[in-house]
Amino acid sequence: MLNKAIDAGLRRWVENIKKQENLPVRLVLWNGSQIDLGAFNTPEVTLEVKSPAALPLLVSPTLESLGEAYIQEKIDIGGKLADVIRTSYRLAELSARKSGSHSAGAMRKLADMTKHFKHTKAEDKDSIHYHYDVSNDFYKLWLDPNLVYSCAYFENGDEDLETAQYKKIDHILTKIRLQPGQTLLDIGCGWGALVIRAASKFGARCVGITLSQNQHDLAVQRVRAAGLEGQIEIRLQDYRDIKGSFDRITSVGMFEHVGRVNLVSYFARINELLAEEGVAMNHGITSTDPDSRDSPMGGGDFIDRYVFPKGELPHISLALSALQQGGLEALDVENLRRHYARTLEMWAASYEKYSEQIRELVGEKRYRIWRVYLAGCAHAFEVDDVSIYQVICQKAGRKADAIPWSRRYIYGAK
């Protein structure tokens, strides 16, 4: 039997949920009793509550508190992960609706969402190390063979992940009109897939930079194996320390680490490194809140604490404003939100497929963190909680004839 006070509070919460929505969810309590949150024959999602201490995390849930409870093994989940994430979002929404947007808790959350990080070079290096230096073998289990860790491009919608990642890279390199012999700087080069493609297919001379030691070492090996050492240099270096001039610059999945208050200086640095007639491309995740806050359901706090320390997402309007203030002119802006939702679905499916190997490699806690993160992000992109844009730009103030007449150059070559 449950304590009477606990039982009464839990029953009130369940009845309140049932009044608002019919959720195919079954709670299995620590004493074996079961409570359904809706009318159904078979639950889509089962939440196993390990102890009474976990109940407050359910009765007043946010994405952060639910994720925290799961990775701390205070609750276990059953069912398809996509259904679990969708249900978690719905519970958080119902909780937010009940508490009201003007409560003290909501105001504290608002203060948290508008905080900024310093992003010193040392701090950024530590953050990158935490996220990317988990293990190359860890990423190999669920990414494509080339270890492309960014949104793929599904030109037709039916591509496998490896094909879609090649298409994404070619899409970028075609957009920036990369020509043989030109110099290309890739900021945040990962494991080297883009620079290897740029050198081997487009004939460019490339510099790729990363703050991850694991990425650097494997990228160097891959460049050597491809016989491209004469065309590609991989550096363990901060973008703020780069010198020189480049015909083309790409930054894929990196500006999320820059910090909102540093966006102008980030784009100004790209401007300084870009040749007078050069073209640059920024590919990055953005907030869908016009005020550039994180998700109101609390997912941003979870990601900051467990996945991407000090990550900050600007709204596209803030990114474009900072780009212009940094001395650049936007030429082309493309929304790839649908593509990232599909990419994350594929990553999450691979992650589930190799769950036992991942557990053995990184342990239960990190396994759970990334499981929630990948599936949660897939849902966030699906429902427009976050978005992603590719922005092509050049130095501001150039004559009009520097701009292509149409976008035919992007698609006509394919």
Catalytic residue numbers read 377
Give Cβ neighbours of residue 98 (< 8 Å, ≥ 6 apart). Answer: 16
Query: Which segments within 190-259 are labelled E, that is strand?
Result: 205-210, 232-236, 246-252
Q: Are 393 and 284 in contact (CB under 8 A)?
A: no
How many whole angstroms separate alpha carbon 201 and alpha carbon 226?
Answer: 12
Radius of gyration of the chain (CA): 23
The neighbouring-strand residues paired with 49 are: 75
In 3-state terms, what secondary structure has residue 319? helix
The neighbouring-strand residues paired with 233 are: 207
How many whole angstroms separate alpha carbon 25 and alpha carbon 94?
Answer: 14
Give Cβ neighbours of residue 142 (< 8 Å, ≥ 6 apart). Answer: 347, 350, 351, 353, 354, 358, 374
Work out the angle at residue 379's Cα, subtended by the Cα atoms of residues 376 and 380, and round it to the nearest 5 degrees. Answer: 85
Structure tokens at 33: 């009793």
Query: Which segments within 188-327 are labelled E, that is strand?
Result: 205-210, 232-236, 246-252, 274-287
Give Cβ neighbours of residue 110 (< 8 Å, ≥ 6 apart). Answer: 293
Q: Name residue, tokens 């609390």.
A: 298
| 207 alpha-carbon distance from chain centroid | 24
